[in-house]
Amino acid sequence: QLNIETIYKNKEAEHSNDQFLNDVIDGLQQEPKHLQSKYFYDKRGDSLFQEIMAMPEYYLTRCEMDIFKNKTQELASILMENNTPFDLIELGAGDASKSLHLLQFLKKSNADFTYMPIDISGNILSVLDQKLKTNIPDLDITILEGDYFEMLKKASRLSSRRKAVLFLGSNIGNMEFEHASDFCVELRKNLNKGDIVLVGFDLKKDPKIILNAYNDPKGITAAFNLNLLERINRELQGNFDVKQFEHFQNYDPLSGACRSYLVSLENQKVTIDSQAIDFAKDEVVYMEVSQKFSTADMEELAVSSGFQTINTIQDSKEWFADTFWLA
């Protein structure tokens, strides 16, 4: 049994289907066409992402796991500063496979904290809930399902303890650079002076290694992208013929942007909730950016959003960085 377990959902979740439909139609009416990658994560998308994380080419999870398994003490000592009680809030917690090591270490060290995972996927949060029940039965946990900032505000209403926010897995890379910057400014506004953030960044490296991580030969990443079209068919009465779209991945080592697209293989008309959208042969739908960072890029983001970098921890290959920012 979990010690304290409360599950909060935001109101928005009730209207999420309308929002999904609006965002899809709006994105497909733009030039170039665009779908938001936050919608990848339905039940099937969650499970495909689990498969991606287990692929030999997808080094990100293993690198960050290396940090969380082998540098746990270093991470924990910064979080446990002064031994004051705190809320450990994880944005986009997923199945918390990396933070699990940290949570176990903090518990063993008698840290006084509540774990507050935030995710938009209720499905993955129930997987997480089960996992924590089995692995750390005496953990204090408050589950927050919904939008990051709404849930962060909710966390502030529930507790006034100092906050340590985890934003791992290079999730920050799934935002365009300007959005990442706006996101960090907004994050800073939701924190008090002295709170800390731990952000995971995938670093710029050999372009081939990066491209391979998103262009696997088994086509799991392709299936992950195409699943969004299937999700639109399932949930929004769409009629995409998924076989008529092909995944295309590109990495630009200068900007560090690794982008995925779906290419229309023929001229076709798709109907979504009775709205028709035309796709020309070879027209692309821009799906996702997975931005890669240099140390200077990371620092620029910290400074421009009012944070001070206090420590950066890398994996043994130096491919991934988890960096502590002080608000």
Catalog residues that contact ligand AVI under the rule CB under 6 A: 52, 60, 169-171, 173-174, 214, 221, 224, 288, 290
First vs last Cα of the chain: how many Å apart?
35
Residue 64 or 195: the one with the smaller Cβ distance to ligand AVI is: 64
Residue 224 or 324: the one with the smaller Cβ distance to ligand AVI is: 224
Residue 246 backbone dihedrals phi, psi, to 5 degrees? -130, 140
Residue 251 or 324: the one with the smaller Cβ distance to ligand AVI is: 251
What minimum distance in Å lies between the beta carbon of 230 and ligand AVI?
16
Query: How far apart, in whole angstroms, are the C-alpha atoms of residue 71 and residue 313?
Result: 8
Q: Which residues lie closer than 8 Å to 248 by C-beta, 6 or more apart?
A: 260, 261, 262, 263, 284
Q: Which residue type, as a one-letter code, is found at position 313?
A: I
Residue 34 or 162: the one with the smaller Cβ distance to ligand AVI is: 34
What minimum distance in Å lies between the beta carbon of 42 and ligand AVI?
14
What minimum distance in Å lies between the beta carbon of 60 and ligand AVI?
6
Four-point Cα dihedral 53, 56, 62, 63, nearest 10: -120
Which sign does the torsion angle of CA 70, 164, 52, 285 carry?
A: negative
Query: How far apart, in whole angstroms, are the C-alpha atoms of residue 73 and residue 6?
Result: 28
Residue 60 or 125: the one with the smaller Cβ distance to ligand AVI is: 60
What minimum distance in Å lies between the beta carbon of 194 and ligand AVI?
28
What minimum distance in Å lies between the beta carbon of 114 and ligand AVI?
25
What minimum distance in Å lies between the beta carbon of 170 and ligand AVI?
5
Question: Left (φ > 0), alpha (ψ -120 to 50) or beta: where does 283 sit?
Answer: beta
Query: How far apart, in whole angstroms, are the C-alpha atoms of residue 31 and residue 243?
Result: 23
Residue 15 or 317: the one with the smaller Cβ distance to ligand AVI is: 317
What is the number of the residue whose Cβ is closest to ligand AVI? 290
What minimum distance in Å lies between the beta carbon of 203 and ligand AVI?
13
Q: Which residues lie closer than 8 Å to 258 by C-beta, 6 or more apart?
A: 210, 211, 214, 249, 250, 251, 252, 289, 290, 291, 292
Exposed / middle / buried, residue 15 (Cβ in 10 Å: 0-12, 13-18, 19+): exposed
Residue 121 or 174: the one with the smaller Cβ distance to ligand AVI is: 174
